[in-house]
């Protein structure tokens, strides 16, 4: 078969022109239909809500008196069941929360200074200390017995 009649400059220019047009159509189609690449720039803000712990403001009540010249004495709020307490006086070391009342019980976790708990049981006396059963109001799995020496009653948050 003789292909010489098809090997002239018009056929070759036509083939390259047709190929170029198909290439341009393909590139334009891909460019318009493909999604744009957007690099991850900047940051994504986290969904975090900070809830400050209540301050150590004791709930005080005035003792009534009949003599107006006597200054009323104030009594502090005691730790009670279903009341709130805050860890204080650990100098940043935290407070060991245990599985049972007593120094020999296993430590469940360490309560942080100023952390607030709900009192659910107690008091119990063991190893020369008074113990209260505490539960974190935001996480019921954070629960255990703590020494009253490092707890201060606080108002309900």
Other CB atoms within 10 A of residue 101 CB: 22
**Per-residue pLDDT tens digits for 6-24:** 678 888 899 999 999 999 9
Q: What is the pLDDT of residue 11?
A: 84
More confident residue, 40 or 126: 126
Domain range 61-154, its CATH number among 3.40.50.20, 2.40.50.140, 2.60.40.3080, 2.30.30.40 = 2.30.30.40
Bigger pLDDT: 65 vs 141: 141
Comparing C-alpha atoms, which of 87, 111, 86, 108 is closest to residue 99? 108
Q: Position of tokens 């900047």?
A: 42
Q: In this predicted model, which residue has the larger pLDDT, 5 or 82?
A: 82
Is the distance from CB of 99 to CB of 144 less than 8 angstroms?
yes
Q: What is the pLDDT of residue 73?
A: 45
Residue range 79-111, pLDDT digits in tens: 999 999 999 989 889 999 999 999 999 999 999
Question: What is the phi/psi pair of residue 120, to 5°?
Answer: -115, -20
pTM for this entry:
0.53
Query: In 10 A of CB 63, how many CB atoms?
Result: 9
> Which stretches of the chain are assigned E, i.e. beta strand?
61-62, 74-75, 84-87, 95-98, 107-111, 116-126, 129-136, 139-147, 151-154
Length of the chain (residues): 157
What backbone torsions phi and psi does residue 71 show, to the nearest 5 degrees? -75, 130
**pLDDT mean across residues, the chain:** 81
User: Does residue 134 register a pLDDT over 60?
Assistant: yes
Task: Kindly list the domain boundaries of the chain, sorted by start residue.
Answer: 61-154
Residues 26 and 34: beta-carbon distance below 8 Å: no
More confident residue, 115 or 54: 115
The pLDDT-based confidence of 75 (bands split at 50, 70, 90) is very low
Higher pLDDT, 66 or 29: 29
Residue 117: name the closest of 131, 134, 141 by CA: 134
24: region left, alpha or beta (phi > 0 left; psi from -120 to 50 alpha): alpha
On whether the CB atoms of residues 130 and 124 are closer than 8 A, the answer is yes
């Amino acid at each position: 078969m003789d292909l010489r009649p098809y090997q002239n400059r018009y056929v070759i220019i036509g083939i390259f022109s047709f190929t170029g047009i198909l290439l341009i159509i393909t590139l334009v189609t891909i460019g318009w239909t493909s999604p744009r690449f957007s690099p991850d720039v900047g940051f994504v803000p986290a969904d975090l809500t900070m809830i400050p712990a209540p301050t150590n403001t004791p709930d005080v009540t005035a003792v009534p008196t009949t003599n107006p010249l006597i200054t009323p004495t104030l009594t502090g709020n005691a730790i009670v069941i279903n009341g709130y307490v805050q860890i204080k006086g650990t100098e940043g070391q935290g407070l060991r929360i245990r599985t049972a009342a007593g120094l020999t019980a296993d430590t469940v976790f360490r309560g942080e200074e100023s952390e607030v708990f709900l009192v659910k049981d107690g008091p119990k006396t063991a190893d020369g200390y008074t113990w209260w059963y505490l539960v974190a109001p935001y996480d019921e799995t954070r629960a255990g017995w703590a020494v009253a020496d490092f707890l201060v009653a606080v108002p309900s948050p």
